[in-house]
Chain A
Amino acid sequence: MAKISPVTGRYVTFEVDGLEYRVFWCENGHGPPLVCHHTAATHNHQYRHLLEDEDFTSRYRIIAYDMARHGKSDPPRNAEWWKEDYRLTADHFVNFVTAFCDALELEKPIFLGSSFSGCVALHLALRCPERFGAIIPLQAADYAPGWWLDWWRHPHTNAAQVCSSGVWDMMAPMSPDAERWLTLWYHMQGAEVLKGDLYFYSMDHDLRGRLHEIDTDKCPMVMMTGSYDFLTPPAVTQATAEQVAGAEYIEMKNLGHFPMSENYPLFKPYLTQALDIIERKLAASVS
């Protein structure tokens, strides 16, 4: 019997730094907006479980978009992007996220980002905390060097296989096979942009010495990372969180670098905990 999902998908067109993007997003639910950003080289299907979870959609308007050049969101329509080597910068990344939120007229959304978008979450908290209700960086660090590699896009290799196999180890070995293979599958689809995404992650993103400037009174922050994440292991994320006054840190046991996708049932209680912390902090700040 057919089952139609309550999740809807739409496109929105807007400009970022002079570039015109047609961006695809999925959403479901009612309440304060919770904007979810995928990891590098993938798309919003990483949030497929969250988008259909009534425990969250009854409380939040869950919005998960494909960043430009990812999933169903094309490269810029008004530029000859095929003549340039794609390199995502911190400035453009921040401007993209805020422009998307403006395009959907979102009022102080909670931003949930993972890996490279967990790192941009730190930039959002630093640069424009007044625009967000709260920030949840997953798998983030103040600095993540070493991954801007030619292997991600080498003409002598199969980029889809290299990129997806490269992320295989980032998942916890006990995560269900079907979920791990879907997570791998998404990376196969986006392999061509991984290197450009990781230019931001490993080259342009460097907040060492800046984290003390983040004001969590303006924008509460909860950082979380998986115990199997070798890219941003718990010690690294915890050290990052400890530099942000008022930030909370949670280690997610038996999860890897893609918690929302590789094992949602394990991820769910941690996200619940993070959102409960945020709600308490927001309530306290109002009172």
Chain B
Amino acid sequence: MAQDSAAWAENFREATESDPVIQSYAKYYTCDFLFDMEELRVGVSMRDGRVQKIEIDPPPLTPHHFSLHASAETWRKMSQKHPPPFFQGIWAASVREDLRIEGDIKVLMQNLRNFTAQFELLRQTGVPV
């Protein structure tokens, strides 16, 4: 059963801001991105390693630098403690599964180390779909 999205957002914020890997490198981790989970969308704004905002189903035309789109099933698999093969991250799932990465890829690359660590926190928090 999908968890309450507002509670999930708070968990994800707390996990991000208390994660020692991200916080050891947090300075300049600044970007806006969107998780499109098929049944629900999540906008995340990061500023210097802190979560400025997590917005569930942001309105149309809300700007972001890059976005990740996949089926709800893929998001559920990516957020398992031990994801099955090819669901273990954005590279694997975009090459072998249905994850699509769109937008300004350069911003993603500039923030890749922290984003990768933050994305992996989904294995702790799960996803709201």
Cα–Cα distance between A230 and B113 once the two chains are bound (Å): 19
A172 part of interface (Cβ distance < 8 Å): yes
Task: List B contacts of A231 (CB < 8 A).
Answer: 95
User: What 0/1 readout, one digit per residue, does chain A (9-44) give for beta carbons within 8 Å of chain B?
Assistant: 000000000000000000000000000000000000
Interface flags, B104-122, vs A, CB<8A=1, else 0: 0110011011011000000
Q: Does residue B53 face the partner (Cβ distance < 8 Å to A)?
A: no
Task: Known contacts A173-B82, A230-B96; decide if A157 and B89 are in contact (CB<8 Å).
Answer: no
How far apart are the CA atoms of A168 and B21 in the complex, in Å? Answer: 14
* CB pair A228 B91 closer than 8 Å: no
Nearest-CB residue, chain A, relative to B106: A156
The interface size of chain A toward B, counting residues with CB under 8 Å, comes to 23
Interface positions of B from 65 to 98, Cβ below 8 Å from A: 82-83, 85-86, 88-92, 95-96
Collect the chain B residues with CB atoms within 8 Å of residue A166's CB: 91, 112
Given contacts A165-B116, A168-B116, A230-B92, contact A151 B109 (CB under 8 A): yes
Q: How far is the CB of A106 from chain B (nearest CB, A)?
A: 36
Asked whether, in the complex, the Cβ of B109 is within 8 Å of the Cβ of A230, the reply is no
* CB-based contact B86/A230 at 8 Å: yes
Set of chain B residues within 8 Å of A256, measured between Cβ atoms: 88
A246 at the B interface (CB under 8 A): no
The answer, among A165, A170, A228, A233, for a CB contact under 8 Å with B112, is A165
Q: Are A157 and B113 touching (Cβ within 8 A)? A: no
Interface residues in chain B, defined as those with a beta carbon under 8 Å from any beta carbon in chain A: 82-83, 85-86, 88-92, 95-96, 105-106, 109-110, 112-113, 115-116, 123
A154-B106, A228-B86 are known contacts; what are 9 more A-B pairs with Cβ within 8 Å? A161-B112, A166-B91, A166-B112, A168-B89, A168-B91, A173-B83, A230-B86, A230-B88, A230-B91
